Amino acid sequence: MAIAIGGTLTVPSKGHERLTPGVAVALTIRLQIIFCMNIVSLRPIDETNEEVCATLRVTEEQAGLIAPNAKSLEWAKTNPNCVPLAVYADDVMVGFVMYEPRGNGIFSIHRCMIDAKNQRQGFGRRAMELTIERIRQLGGITIYLSFRPENNAARRLYESLGFVKHEIEPDGEIVYRLGPVHDIAY
Ligand SMILES: CC(C)(COP(=O)(O)OP(=O)(O)OC[C@H]1O[C@@H](n2cnc3c(N)ncnc32)[C@H](O)[C@@H]1OP(=O)(O)O)[C@@H](O)C(=O)NCCC(=O)NCCS
């Protein structure tokens, strides 16, 4: 059954702040095993899985909303601060995320995509939760990301994770924030 837990365990706005991250992760994994759900994980991208990552595609309608993974991976190579990660459901790669530490506890999540055939199964939400959890473990305080105004799926997903509108860029891109305000160039 292809369901990832909508684990809100690491999202303070949902009122589970008394669970430590370690307990939350252990609980999530245990529930996934009990209910035979896919275990979603983030794994590094290297020469063994880079090609597969570049073949992942969003839907035709979504193509203008996010750069192709091959381009994002190229960008990551020229910007060593960027951390590209593959999203796996059990042992199948279903998506891609990329974040970047900006200093002073500020992080940007530059990419989050789930392959078209694996969307609407909870993988995007779980991938974001895991990314946020990683960032918190690295001392992240405020996370920024952005998306096109017509991207309602992204907007709904991010708002459900506690992100709030930060500002609108001159090109119309909407910037959301999780955490207190920090002044940075995104
Ligand atoms: C945004 C994206 C990552 C969501 O991935 P996903 O695995 O399909 O999402 P999930 O199944 O985890 O759904 C999580 C929430 O996202 C929202 N959502 C996802 N797809 C949606 C859609 N087609 N329409 C409206 N809301 C949607 C919903 O709020 C959903 O929660 P719900 O199921 O409780 O309603 C995916 O649609 C995608 O890859 N889009 C193209 C790339 C992109 O736009 N990335 C973000 C901007 S960079």
Give the number of the atom of ligand 1 that is nearest the alpha carbon of residue 156. Answer: 29
How do strand 142-147 and strand 106-114 relate by DSSP bridges?
Answer: parallel
- CB atoms under 10 Å from CB of 140, counted, come to 21
Q: What is the pTM of this model?
A: 0.86
Closest CA to 66 of 134, 154, 171: 154
* Residue 10 · residue 132 · CB < 8 Å: yes
Cα–Cα distance measured from residue 184 to residue 35, given in angstroms and rounded to the nearest whole number: 42
3-class secondary-structure state, position 148: coil
Whole-number average pLDDT of the chain: 88
Q: Is the CB of 59 under 6 A from ligand 1?
A: no
Cα–Cα distance measured from residue 8 to residue 15, given in angstroms and rounded to the nearest whole number: 9
How do strand 174-178 and strand 142-147 relate by DSSP bridges?
Answer: antiparallel
The pLDDT value given to residue 17: 52
* Residue 83 · residue 100 · CB < 8 Å: yes
Tell me: domain 40-178, CATH 3.40.50.2300, correct?
no
Give the number of the atom of ligand 1 that is nearest the alpha carbon of residue 6. Answer: 12
Q: Is the CB of 58 under 6 A from ligand 1?
A: yes
Q: Is the CB of 157 under 6 A from ligand 1?
A: yes
- 163, with CB counted inside 10 A (0-12, 13-18, 19+), is buried
Which residues of the chain fall short of a pLDDT of 70? 1-19, 31-36, 183-186
Q: Is the CB of 49 under 6 A from ligand 1?
A: no
Q: How far lies 82's CA from each of 39, 41, 89, 102, in Å?
A: 25, 18, 23, 10
Say how many Å lie between the CA of residue 151 and the centre of ligand 1: 9
Closest CA to 178 of 78, 91, 109, 88: 109
Q: What is the pLDDT of residues 109-124, one digit of tens each?
A: 999 999 999 999 999 9
Look up residue 48 and give its amino acid: T
The pLDDT value given to residue 183: 66
Say how many Å lie between the CA of residue 116 and the centre of ligand 1: 10
Delimit the domains of the chain by residue range.
40-178
